[in-house]
Amino acid sequence: MQTVITDRNFIKIQAEHKLDENDNFRYYLRKIDSDLLDEKVHALTKKITPQIDCTKCGACCKQLMINVTNEENVRVAKQLNLSADTFKEKYLEESLQGKMIMNTIPCHFLNDNKCTIYKDRFTECRAFPHLHENDFKRRLFGTLIHYSMCPIIYNVIEALKEEIGFIN
């Protein structure tokens, strides 16, 4: 496996150069068994994630819209000593699909690339970049959307290409 790359400018440039390659990779992965692919992605994620300090990046907190459940609204409001209604009024809005979402990007709770509500952060924040979840093949298009933004995704995808012998 290659050295883990964390330089976001380099990753962004590489992502632009690899648009066609990543499209070809998506089609290549269709012929690989989903369970085997999940195993490989989980193993690579477990190996790569500890090598990347997310607080040096914080791009997900700076660029992604976060859905918030009612339970999370209540929990985080409580942590901040606010009522759920006050929290909702101050930090959330309703999306076109009727879901509660954070009302600003970057996230209100990002300070110096660190989450100020880390222990009670939202489910979507805990799960990102979702590489530990099953059904990677089904989520690949969405994962590749964040390839240029997230060093973990970039490195896992590049290592996966190498591991399965993908040649563009």
| In the chain, % of residues over pLDDT 90 | 94
149 and 113 housed in the same domain: no
What pTM was computed for the model? 0.93
142 and 160 housed in the same domain: yes
Distance in Å from the first CA to the final CA of the chain: 18
Tell me, yes or no, whether 119 lies in a domain: yes
Number of independent structural domains in the chain:
2
SS3 93: strand
Residue 74 has pLDDT above 70, yes or no: yes
Tell me, yes or no, whether 106 lies in a domain: yes
Name the average pLDDT for the chain. 96
CA atoms within 13 A on the CB side of 11: 22
Domain of residue 97: give its range: 65-126
The answer to whether the beta carbons of residues 151 and 11 sit under 8 Å apart is: yes
73 and 21 housed in the same domain: no
22 and 48 housed in the same domain: yes
Residue 89 has pLDDT above 70, yes or no: yes
Tell me, yes or no, whether 2 lies in a domain: no
What integer pLDDT is reported at residue 167 of this predicted model?
87
Tell me, yes or no, whether 82 lies in a domain: yes
The answer to whether the beta carbons of residues 45 and 156 sit under 8 Å apart is: yes
Tell me, yes or no, whether 3 lies in a domain: no
